[in-house]
Chain A
Amino acid sequence: MKLLATTTRYYLLLAAAMFVIGSVGLYVGVDRTLRHEVKEQLLARQLELTAKARANQLPPVALLQLVLPISRRPQPLGFRDTLLLDEQEGELVPHQQLTFVLQTAGEGPVWVTLRKSLVEAKDLLFVVLSVMLGVLALLLTGGVLLNRWLSGRLWAPFRHTLAALRRYDLHQHQPLQLPTPAITEFAELNHALEHLSQRLVADYESLREFTANAAHETQTPLAIMQAQLEQLLQLPVLAEDPAAAPLVADLYGATLRLSRLHQALSLLSKIENRQFDATKPVRLDQLLAEKVAQFEPLFEARELRYGLDIARAPIVVHMHPGLADSLLQNLLQNAVKHNVSGGNISISLTPQALKISNTGPAVSGDPARFFERFRKHSAASESPGLGLSIVQHICGYYGFGVTYSLAEAGTCHTLHVRLAPVVASPVKKPQQVLQPTD
């Protein structure tokens, strides 16, 4: 719910409550004042009549009875509310009446009742309440309109900040730049956000540097290990001991794997850090043909049949040549690695898309997760499971969409790379959709 709607709602509730209380209070107050006034008038007339009776200035009771309700029998004394029929309007009208005993000269005590209509008081009350309601309605609509207008004006800096936050991308290594609005709260918010983003950028930068340095520093010891182990294998003493040589060979193999893992991870971090700015037109068709030729011995070794279907026209993609190479490398490697002996690989390249399908055992799990790092086909696999993650990162870097799909039989896996960028500029996250195929 919008902040404005919420505040307006509370405002309305409060105003309604206040109005009810105010109206009741006003009604009671006005009513009491009016009754009091009527009583005073009645008492004034009583005094006047009593005074006249003492001074013996009153007309005889019989005459007086024509204008005043006078009874010779005792009546209940004091103030009472009563309804009397107004003969002109033909309706019952509320009256206040005062009954008292009047001592008349010679005629003994009579019970006089003085009455005064309360209709004027009711009319007054009605006017007061109508005015109150009108004012309330004006106040409410005015409040709502004011809030709407204010939200457009006062909240503009907030919305600006929000839009800036949405656009913000840490990978650009730039702290957030926000204006300082006139309103203190928003100025403080922007200030705090800028501060936060500066810290984020600094942290991110130091993390990035750390990764890069760590990668660089590991590279040399790895190269030394690899070279030393290779030299160790040359020692004649190893040839004499059939148990020792495989141990060193295993060590050597593990070093190679470590160094591949290291390369893959530093490639991933370099892509994430956008360190592949230089793009060149890459002849993807030629590159693919080269790569497939390179893979041929592997296909042969695993008895894989492959079909290569490359569109005739030159297919040029603007990307970093190293990333183009890595993309094809990892896609082909994936197709070989997750294949079955005697299986198939079909590769097709058109100017729009690159599609690589391979046979393979059915896999379980969420296809979107296949692109995750260290996602292994099987726990026993020696491969670190970074290939598809690299594919996804490269595609994401250039805005290519990469999708994985599984044919109904569950044994034909297809990776589909849409070569046209989804948007003009590189986007961060590639789309991961599971598409049903034939």
Chain B
Amino acid sequence: MKILLVEDETALRTVLLGSLKQAGYVVEEAADFAQAQEKIMLYQYDCVLLDLTLPDGTGLDLLRSLKAAGSAAGVLIITARDALDDKIAGLDLGADDYLIKPFHLSELNARLRAIIRRRQFNGHQQIVFRDLLVLPELAEVHVHGEPLTLTRKEYDLLLYLLANPGRVLTKEAIAEHLCGDAVDSADSFDFIYTHLKNLRRKMQEKGADNYISTMYGVGYKLNNG
């Protein structure tokens, strides 16, 4: 998986680079509009991670030239929270999804996975994790070949964990993933705990290993093996 990361803030770019590499992507970076433009013209990417505010141009123009070149790359735009118009314009121009700064790295992983899944396999993809099989287009989960019935939130939670194998997911990141903006950090995270408890119970009933571990005071982690 090859990703182009367009972000002008060096420090942020470095962190994102590290996180994406850790997640197993091949990442190239561009610090400004000109660099990004050049790389888009020269190489093929599976996904472009695009900050809309660049010192020498707007990410929307990059998006336009990307689409004009008929690129197959997925585009995930990153915007400031209040630049809502940019977000809408970006989606209108054919961006696949957007993330609002600041975001959780695990959320970025989940969004990237979803984009690549949709683009590369047209949705026909199976996610296999140890004894677990997920068919995203059918929203079905099987354990040892047996279907597992999950609620909407439990399913979302499982997919989120599967998008970040081996990563610690903070309770804040999970809460935001499940409820969007509705979560205020001041609110209790009880409901994550409840959903996770139910998910674990249902999986264990079907005989799955307990590979979701809890990090007390921090969050949860899907263990690779």
A207-224 Cβ-contact flags toward B at 8 Å (1 or 0)? 000000000000111111
Contact, CB under 8 Å: B182 / A333: yes
CB distance from A389 to the nearest CB of B (A): 15
Given contacts A248-B218, A249-B219, contact A230 B104 (CB under 8 A): yes
Residues of A with C-beta under 8 A to B16: 227
Residues of B with C-beta under 8 A to A230: 19, 104-106, 170, 173
Contact, CB under 8 Å: A227 / B19: yes
A382 CA to B185 CA, complexed, in Å? 8
CB distance from B78 to the nearest CB of A (A): 9
Residues of A with C-beta under 8 A to B105: 227, 230-231
Contact for B215 among A245, A321, A329, A381, CB less than 8 A: A245
Among the stretches A9-17, A86-94, A259-267, A394-402, the one at the interface with B is A259-267
Residues of A with C-beta under 8 A to B185: 253, 256-257, 260, 382
Contact, CB under 8 Å: A223 / B216: no
Given contacts A230-B104, A234-B167, A298-B191, contact A291 B172 (CB under 8 A): no
Contact, CB under 8 Å: A252 / B172: yes
Residues of A with C-beta under 8 A to B80: 219
CB distance from A295 to the nearest CB of B (A): 5
A301 within 8 A of B: yes
Residues of A with C-beta under 8 A to B195: 297
Contact, CB under 8 Å: A224 / B216: no
A383 within 8 A of B: yes
A278 within 8 A of B: yes
Nearest CB in chain A to that of B10: its residue: A224
Contact, CB under 8 Å: A234 / B172: no
Contact, CB under 8 Å: B182 / A383: no
B145 within 8 A of A: no
Contact, CB under 8 Å: B15 / A337: no
A329 CA to B18 CA, complexed, in Å? 34
Contact, CB under 8 Å: B15 / A246: no
Contact for A224 among B12, B84, B88, B219, CB less than 8 A: B12
Contact, CB under 8 Å: A337 / B187: yes
B209 within 8 A of A: no
A174 within 8 A of B: no
Between B22, B103, B170, B182, the greatest number of chain A beta carbons within 10 A of the residue's beta carbon is seen for B182
How many residues of A are counted as interface, with CB atoms below 8 angstroms from the partner's CB atoms? 52
Contact, CB under 8 Å: B179 / A298: yes
B189-210 Cβ-contact flags toward A at 8 Å (1 or 0)? 0110011000000000000000
A203 within 8 A of B: no
Contact for A234 among B102, B168, B181, B194, CB less than 8 A: B168
A227 CA to B7 CA, complexed, in Å? 14
Q: Which residues 60-104 of B have a CB within 8 angstroms of A?
A: 80-82, 84-85, 88, 101-104
Residues of B with C-beta under 8 A to A266: 82
Residues of A with C-beta under 8 A to B225: none
A336 CA to B178 CA, complexed, in Å? 17
A226 within 8 A of B: yes
Contact, CB under 8 Å: A294 / B191: no
A300 within 8 A of B: yes
Contact, CB under 8 Å: B190 / A301: yes
Contact, CB under 8 Å: B12 / A227: yes
Contact, CB under 8 Å: B191 / A234: no
CB distance from B123 to the nearest CB of A (A): 23
B186 within 8 A of A: yes
Contact, CB under 8 Å: A219 / B180: no
Given contacts A224-B12, A278-B85, contact A259 B216 (CB under 8 A): no
Between B101, B190, B218, the greatest number of chain A beta carbons within 10 A of the residue's beta carbon is seen for B218
Between A267, A325, A333, the greatest number of chain B beta carbons within 10 A of the residue's beta carbon is seen for A333
B217 within 8 A of A: yes
B144 within 8 A of A: no
Residues of A with C-beta under 8 A to B131: none
CB distance from A291 to the nearest CB of B (A): 7
Residues of B with C-beta under 8 A to A381: 186
CB distance from A233 to the nearest CB of B (A): 5
A260 CA to B191 CA, complexed, in Å? 21
Contact for B153 among A238, A249, A297, A329, CB less than 8 A: A297
Residues of A with C-beta under 8 A to B140: none
A114 CA to B102 CA, complexed, in Å? 121
A322 within 8 A of B: yes
CB distance from A18 to the nearest CB of B (A): 71
Q: Which residues 300-327 of A have a CB within 8 angstroms of B?
A: 300-302, 320-322, 325
A238 CA to B178 CA, complexed, in Å? 26
CB distance from A138 to the nearest CB of B (A): 72
A226 CA to B19 CA, complexed, in Å? 13
Name 6 extra pairs, CB < 8 A, besides A221-B11, A233-B218, A297-B191. A224-B12, A228-B15, A231-B105, A291-B182, A321-B84, A381-B186
Residues of chain A having any CB pair with chain B under 8 Å: 219-224, 226-228, 230-231, 233-234, 238-239, 242, 245-246, 248-250, 252-253, 256-257, 259-260, 263, 266-267, 270, 278, 291, 294-295, 297-298, 300-302, 320-322, 325, 329, 332-333, 336-337, 381-383
Residues of chain B having any CB pair with chain A under 8 Å: 9, 11-12, 15-16, 18-19, 22, 80-82, 84-85, 88, 101-106, 153, 167-168, 170, 172-173, 178-188, 190-191, 194-195, 215-219
Q: What are 23 A-B residue pairs whose CB atoms fall within 8 Å in the complex?
A: A220-B11, A224-B9, A226-B102, A226-B104, A238-B168, A239-B168, A245-B217, A246-B218, A250-B217, A253-B170, A253-B172, A260-B184, A260-B185, A266-B82, A291-B182, A294-B182, A297-B182, A301-B190, A302-B188, A337-B186, A381-B186, A382-B185, A382-B186
